[in-house]
Structure 1
Amino acid sequence: MKRERAYVERRRRQILALMKENPAVRVDELAEKFQVSLITIRRDLQYLEDKNLLVRFYGGAVSAKTEQKEDEEVSMYRRLIAEYAASLVESGDSLFINSSRNALQILKYIKCDNVTVITNNGKAIQTDYPEGISVLMTGGELRHPKDAMVGDFAIRNLQTVFPKKAFVGCSGISPVSGMTTEIAAEVKINELMIQNATKDVYVLADHTKVGKNSSFTSAPVEHIGHLITDEKAPEDVLKQLKERGVQIHQVRREEEAGGVSFEYK
């Protein structure tokens, strides 16, 4: 029994050693390398994930440090996207912001005065923003964990509001499905925000969401005026979106200069 336990522990240490050279590993490749069953390798990976040493995905695993680094990078790009979106807000503007956490970040970076924000994002109540911004909540049924306000009450209140601009986040955006979300109750809210914006509609989506399709379409491509994304978004998808009439804005990190640049296509 002790010999078997030592063998298992050695194999798991070897798996971690392999992941220092190659952060992503496959179950089938590990099973072949160590001459054990797929089930055995899955148990090893589950054990190591429970120890926060890796993160499993379908058919394999990735180093926990790699996963953390990727999460930090996405968070950085989302902040830059919000910062750029805020630069498009002008004094006297009125604008929609939906339940997207990324879109809500815009509030922190708005630098002009006399701006009115209409949102169904309940997290706005706990968000700090400059004095020159007035926030109006749609009301409605509060849905956790996003604290999104949805339902008939929110819809009726939105039907009579027509701001200049809409800044909306999404679960995915693609040339095929347009802007999509995972939550059915938010579809009508997003539709109204996009439909009632009198000037510009901006969809905010980092590179992990570009080219992805989620469960429910909030808006077809034809209803999306602008996409704000980052430099890692797939160029082939951006090209197709541009051909469908979407204007592309990309944030780019300038590491040598220690700053950020923005590109408009």
Structure 2
Amino acid sequence: MGKTNSIVSKRREKILEYLRVHEELSNNDLSEKLKISPLTLRRDLQALDDEGLITRFYGGAKLIDAKDTLNHKRTHNDINLQLKLNSIAKYAADLVQDGDTIFMNSSSTVLLMLKYLKNKRVNVVTNNGKALNENIDSNVELVLTGGQVYERKQSLVGDFATYILSKITADKCFLGVSGISYESGISTSVLQETLVNHEMIKRCGGPVYILADSSKVGRHHNFSSGDINEISDLITDSDIDKNEIENFQSKNVNVITINYRENSYEKFSNKIT
């Protein structure tokens, strides 16, 4: 199974490589270059489209940012990061159960969860103003906290936002962060968001999940949002330093690493010290 996933992942990377070189390619051209059937190609293109990496048109496909592609500005690292973030968000969305009420903060990674929440009755309570522009499944009930708008991120902050959160109890909490450290906990670069994030943690009756790609692990930003003992799980990518996994386990935090290349994951349960 792992070998099959690896073959699929490499084939899809090859598609992205072709599309980085050319502005766009027809399905026929891609099938010939990759020596695969049109059905297999359609599956690959659909998967890449779902991850927000390409856009499909009748008879072909192109990268989302065609100008960046033509000028060779869209790098391999950019694509890897999008794969990581979408894989993390998809795994997190799968943790949501029918009937759940969940908190989601203003993180762009957490926002990606909305496109993977399908066929579940879910109440989503968020301070992310950008959620209004997302294509949300009809079963999802979106509740904005209200409050003062922090313009740069379109997040809702302030006393009104925290007051609304204080009246809600969530089953699960999903937070994106600027940094997470086993020593100092979670942090953000926006002072105004710290109280909102911490109120979500306080008002969550179940697990608190941190969604952070590996580049944010082991880092601490200016403003603290929560202590490490308030976190139950860290969802990150498989590029995380293995020593960091052990450090978080020693603080009784579960670590789930997503292998974004092979579409698989590994869970490291916490250990009592």
2-structure distance, mates of 1:253, 1:157: 36
The amino acid across from 2:264 in the alignment is S
2-structure distance, mates of 1:65, 1:176: 40
Q: Which residue of 2 aligns with 1:219?
A: 226
Q: Which residue of 2 aligns with 1:86?
A: 93
Deviations 1:10-60 (A, max 9, x none): xxxxxxxxxxxxxxxxxxxxxxxxxxxxxxxxxxxxxxxxxxxxxxxxxxx
2-structure distance, mates of 1:128, 1:67: 25
> Is the contact made by 2:177 and 2:187 (CA closer than 8 Å) also made in structure 1?
yes
TM superposition shift of 1:216: 0.9
Q: Which residue of 2 aligns with 1:260?
A: 263
Deviations 1:90-147 (A, max 9, x none): 0000000000010011111012321000000000000111111000000001112210
Aligned residue runs from structure 1 range 24-103, under 5 A: 68-103=75-110
Q: TM-score, normalised by structure 1?
A: 0.72
2-structure distance, mates of 1:179, 1:234: 17
Residue among 109, 112, 117 paired with 1:110? 117
Deviations 1:50-106 (A, max 9, x none): xxxxxxxxxxxxxx9698221221121001000000010000000000000100111
TM superposition shift of 1:195: 1.1
Residue among 114, 137, 152 paired with 1:145? 152
Q: Which residue of 2 aligns with 1:30?
A: none
TM superposition shift of 1:263: 1.2
Q: Which residue of 1 aligns with 2:193?
A: 186
The amino acid across from 2:113 in the alignment is I
Q: Which residue of 2 aligns with 1:52?
A: none
How many residue pairs end up in the alignment? Answer: 198
The amino acid across from 1:86 in the alignment is A
2-structure distance, mates of 1:219, 1:145: 22
Deviations 1:173-218 (A, max 9, x none): 0112111101111000000111111011100000110111100110
Over aligned residues, Cα RMSD in angstroms?
A: 1.5
The amino acid across from 2:157 in the alignment is V
Where do 4+ consecutive residues of structure 1 move more than 3 Å?
Answer: 64-67
> Is the contact made by 1:162 and 1:196 (CA closer than 8 Å) also made in structure 2?
yes
Aligned residue runs from structure 1 range 153-232, under 5 A: 153-232=160-239
The amino acid across from 2:151 in the alignment is H
Range with bigger deviation, 67-76 or 228-237: 67-76
1-structure distance, mates of 2:73, 2:223: 31
> Is the contact made by 2:187 and 2:221 (CA closer than 8 Å) also made in structure 1?
yes
> Is the contact made by 1:89 and 1:112 (CA closer than 8 Å) also made in structure 2?
no
Q: Which residue of 1 aligns with 2:6?
A: none
Cα 1:239/1:65, change in 2 over 3 Å:
farther
What 5-or-longer segments of structure 1 have no aligned partner?
Answer: 1-63
1-structure distance, mates of 2:147, 2:96: 26
The amino acid across from 2:85 in the alignment is R
What 5-or-longer segments of structure 2 have no aligned partner?
Answer: 1-70, 269-273
2-structure distance, mates of 1:118, 1:253: 28
> Is the contact made by 2:83 and 2:260 (CA closer than 8 Å) also made in structure 1?
no
> Greater CA radius of gyration, 1 or 2?
1
Same amino acid, percent of matched pairs: 35
> Is the contact made by 1:98 and 1:168 (CA closer than 8 Å) also made in structure 2?
yes
Q: TM-score, normalised by structure 2?
A: 0.70
TM superposition shift of 1:239: 1.2
2-structure distance, mates of 1:71, 1:244: 32
Q: Which residue of 2 aligns with 1:9?
A: none
1-structure distance, mates of 2:197, 2:145: 12
